[in-house]
Amino acid sequence: MNNDITAVDGIKVGNAENIEGGTGCTVIICGNNFSAGAEVRGGAPGTRESALLASEAVIQNINAVLLTGGSAFGLDAAAGVMDYLEEQGTGFQTGSGYVPIVPAAVIYDLEYKSSKIRPDKKMAYQACRNADNSPLENKSIGAAAGATCGKINGMKYAHKTKLGHAAIKIGKLIVAALVVVNAFGDIKDYKTGKIAAGAKDENGNFIDTESIFLNKPELNTGLKRENTTLAVIATNARLNKSEANRVSIMAQDGLARTIYPVHTMLDGDTVFTLASNKINADINQVGTAAAAVAAEAVCSSV
């Protein structure tokens, strides 16, 4: 079994990036039969089609999720995913043809290298063409091409992150995660509590962002709000949309175990959950596993 989100049958992942520009996008393609939910906990999110994932909305299944750099500009890239899926005859069937349902979320990476190079529909279309179910690598590719963490001391002293992933199998149940960590806070190893990646001082030592928040009387109120951690959870469990939303909520705990601080007004933290509906499973077990793989995936990104 692949130790990533492609462990769930039916999931394909594709990446495309502009290395010189320091940005890219990652597409998770799931066909027509995956139910989905989402949970936004960050105070500065950038999303597309997220309202469709509300429990009371009519759409039950989605066809892909796009994670992309470029800040709000990057949301335009989702049109490339729609073009690709329409060509494949994939989407919500209407009287006029198929309309692909593609939720998307962005990270702010405009200050990593170039603010003028952003993911567009051409790049996202190429990511779709690159998509397959082969094992993923921990590299600064796709949406993680411009991702960093630990930015309280500015980009100069931030830490570069990679595409993170993890998976777990419990009997027949599979739960997996893919993450793009572009957090304001530091990443701590949830097993040891020690900082694994984060903001540093001029001497290359970690300065502990959480400690600064807890101990500095007059914290700079001009802290930049251009940060976000994005995660996609996938499972072969049978979940309706309401249950997928609950799993997304529980999966956010995995971010809280590893990112300090998290869910701030400086971040746009968003979690999507995709379910292939192949086996019956207890939702509490699925959610608990989702939090576990989310935490492991964050740690794997450094």
Smallest CA-to-CA distance from 111 within 209, 192, 227, 219 is with 227
- pLDDT band, very low/low/confident/very high, at 31 (cuts 50, 70, 90): confident
With 0-12 / 13-18 / 19 or more C-beta atoms within 10 angstroms meaning exposed / middle / buried, residue 58 is exposed
Of residues 287 and 50, which shows the higher confidence score?
287
Q: 93: which 2 tokens?
A: 């069937």
What rounded mean pLDDT belongs to the chain?
95
- pLDDT band, very low/low/confident/very high, at 217 (cuts 50, 70, 90): confident
Residue 221 predicted with pLDDT over 90: no
CA distances from 281 to 54, 172, 203, 209, 287 (A): 22, 9, 50, 38, 10
- pLDDT band, very low/low/confident/very high, at 49 (cuts 50, 70, 90): very high
- pLDDT band, very low/low/confident/very high, at 181 (cuts 50, 70, 90): very high
Q: What is the SS3 assignment for 291?
A: helix
Measured CA to CA, the distance from residue 25 to residue 150 in angstroms comes to: 21
159-160/163-170 β-pairing: unpaired
Task: Specify which residues 97 forms β-bridges with.
Answer: 94
CB-CB neighbours of 53 under 10 Å: 24
Q: 163: which 2 tokens?
A: 């595409």
- The pLDDT score that the predictor gives to residue 220 is 61
Residue 40 predicted with pLDDT over 90: yes
Q: 196: which 2 tokens?
A: 């694994």
* Percent of the chain clearing pLDDT 70 (strictly above): 98
Q: Rounded to 5 degrees, what are φ and ψ at 32?
A: -110, -10
Non-local CB neighbours of 230 within 8 Å, separated by 6+ positions: 67, 105, 107, 143, 179, 180, 182, 269, 270, 271
DSSP 227-254: BEEEEEEEEEE---HHHHHHHHHHHHHH
- The pLDDT score that the predictor gives to residue 32 is 86
CATH top-level class for 5-300? Answer: alpha beta
- The pLDDT score that the predictor gives to residue 226 is 76
- Given the structure tokens 């999110």, which residue do they identify? 45
Q: Tell me what the mean pLDDT of segment 97-119 comes to.
A: 95
Q: Tell me what the mean pLDDT of segment 153-164 comes to.
A: 94
Q: Rounded to 5 degrees, what are φ and ψ at 149?
A: -140, 165
Q: Tell me what the mean pLDDT of segment 71-76 comes to.
A: 96
| Cβ-count burial 198-236 (b if 16+ within 10 Å, e if not) | bbbeeeeebbbbbeeeeeeeeeeeeeebbbbbbbbbbbb
- The pLDDT score that the predictor gives to residue 8 is 98
Report pLDDT digits (tens) over 248-298: 999 999 999 999 999 999 899 999 999 999 999 999 999 999 999 999 999
- pLDDT band, very low/low/confident/very high, at 7 (cuts 50, 70, 90): very high
